[in-house]
Amino acid sequence: MTVAISAAVQQLPHGEGLALPAYQSAHAAGLDLLAAVAPDAPLVLAPGTYALVPTGLKLELPPGFEAQVRPRSGLAARHGVTVLNAPGTIDADYRGEIGVLLINHGSQPFTIRRGERIAQMVVAKVARVELTVVSSLEETERGSGGFGSTGR
């Protein structure tokens, strides 16, 4: 079951005229974020380089929620472009501009134009944990098996 929440969004001057983030299908989990680069100054990501791409948006999430900035699969599949710190986290108390840290793992330069869909944002409920120091942990079948240790 989908739960709707309300969040305030502020469009900054360099983001004016761009559409607000939107879901692209009835059951989409993420809202698409758009690049708020200047119309006459697209951003070119050379292979192997990264850049912080502005969205022109600030967000006010309700307490107990976060937003995750995730890659768009189409950009990754077609161009090798992805979110460097995926998922990026926007905490409920953050009030700065949402920026998307994109990296070009592809072999060709990638041009980011104004209004291009560059990432998706998923809003989720946050559970906070209270850590308790103990002298030992409960044993499990997996134990301390790390990377690649399951399914053998």
Residues placed in the known binding site for substrate: 72-74, 85, 89-91
95-115 in b/e form (b: 16+ CB < 10 A) is eebbbbbbbbebeeebebebe
Find the distance separating the first CA and the last CA of the chain, reported in whole Å.
Answer: 35
CB neighbour list of residue 43: distance below 8 Å, 6 or more residues apart: 35, 37, 51, 53, 111, 112
Query: What is the Cα–Cα distance from 99 to 84, expressed in whole angstroms?
Result: 12
Residues making up the annotated binding site are 72-74, 85, 89-91
Give yes or no for a contact between 102 and 112, defined as CB atoms under 8 angstroms apart: yes
